[in-house]
Amino acid sequence: MSICLRLFFASCALLIFYSSCSFGQKVNYDRYRLLEVTPTTEYQLDAVYALHKRFKDELDFWLHTPTTDQSAYVTVKPTIYREFTDQLDFLKMPYKLLLDDIGQEIASDRVSKEERKKLGFFEVYRTMDEIYEFITNLTKKYPNCASLVNIGTSFEDRPLRVIRISTDPEQLKHKPMVWIQSGMHAREQIGPAVATYLASKIAALCRKRGATRKLIQKFDWYILPILNPDGYEYAQNYDRLWRKTRSRQIFTKCVGVDPNRNFGFQFGDENNGSSSEPCSNNYAGYRPLSEPETRAVVVYMTNIVRDRMELFLDFHSFSQKWLTPYGYTITLPQHYEEQVYLARIATKAIQKYNGTKYTIGTSSHSLYPVNGGARDWAYHVMLGTHSYVVELPDQGQYGFILPRRFIYPTAAETWVGVRAMALELIDLMSMDGYSSD
């Protein structure tokens, strides 16, 4: 047997072994704490990076590692909590305990199967099957303007399902379009809930009259509620804080790729928000579009979207930020002023409705660097002038485990913002001389 063939069989054996090891073990977060850490000097900042390196497997920095002008949110294993906080105290670094027991917080939000049936759809985080059944029912309720399309399958063979909404289904591919997606990062479960709610409100316009009906007369809407269905299901059933896809990587036990580092535009700069380390939460993959999920989105959008995308919204959590391009560079995009103007329309409407405040800016300035991201790809390649990442609530108190009591308020206020933004965009499109080029 040749050396190449032996290596091939060895890699297959490793892949099978690690695949079998990656399922069925529920991750326990009992007594894990969530801290807000705020270094105020460069010395403190360097010390936090050193602690992060020292306790690599015991700390998980949510959103980003800290800077001297931004706090970081970090989960701490119970085994090193005392030592970690002693170090923070020694450094005289401000920190705040936000959650004393993440596992208890997760458990308190669980709902039995019997209770799920009694609750309203947006009173609990729904499974993939429940979300798909819900949007399927929308197409049955509004058959003249809503339809489903499977744009591909995930690594574990789950469907990626898009609901299309338009008053002129025969004219699809001709009108300007809006693309909404969510569920890219598995633990950000508020995103799919919000996207599904938006689908319900937009589909309901099919039977309404008045000013808002022009939202579906002027635009074709495409909504992908769960871009990463494998990760979403894994987070619901095994590891509530799982982030990546569930693809298996050769020669490592680590699983998954960060889909928002896997798009083809500006892929793979390790110093700019992604990693080549398969165990990292920001692992970009071994090549652009290595993941069937990102590949499916790119192929589908390339076929139907190019040159007619007016609005691209990618829902994530958390931090309450409405983020414009770019993520990969601090250079402002050509259409930055237009992007900020429209984002202000949305965020002001949300604040007026519910008091929730969003900040606006580029990802690289306002949050952290991101290369290989979907939003930059949509703006630069798909020519979607108004392309945004929306980091939904909250601002850190619960972070990725936002309690289910916040689902409906978050979804309702987001609809108010998206509606205001889309209506303003229609007015802009009607102006003489308007161009999104």
pLDDT single digits (tens) 113-124: 899 989 999 999
pLDDT of residue 436: 54
- Find tokens 């399958």 and name the residue: 153
Kindly indicate the confidence band of residue 5, based on its pLDDT and cuts at 50, 70 and 90. Answer: very low
Cis omega (within 30 of 0) on the bond before 326?
yes
**Residues with a known catalytic role:** 391
Tens of pLDDT, residue by residue over 159-175, are 999 999 998 766 556 78
How do 59-62 and 146-153 pair as beta strands? unpaired
**Portion of the chain with pLDDT greater than 70, in percent:** 90
Amino acid, res. 137? N
State pTM to two decimals: 0.91
The span from the CA of 197 to the CA of 186, in Å, is 18
Burial 81-94 (b: 16+ CB within 10 A, else e): beebbebbeebebe
Backbone dihedral angles phi then psi of residue 376, each to the nearest 5 degrees: -65, -40
Which range, of 216-220, 278-282, 329-333, 368-372, averages the lowest pLDDT? 368-372
Q: Is the pLDDT of residue 75 over 80?
A: yes
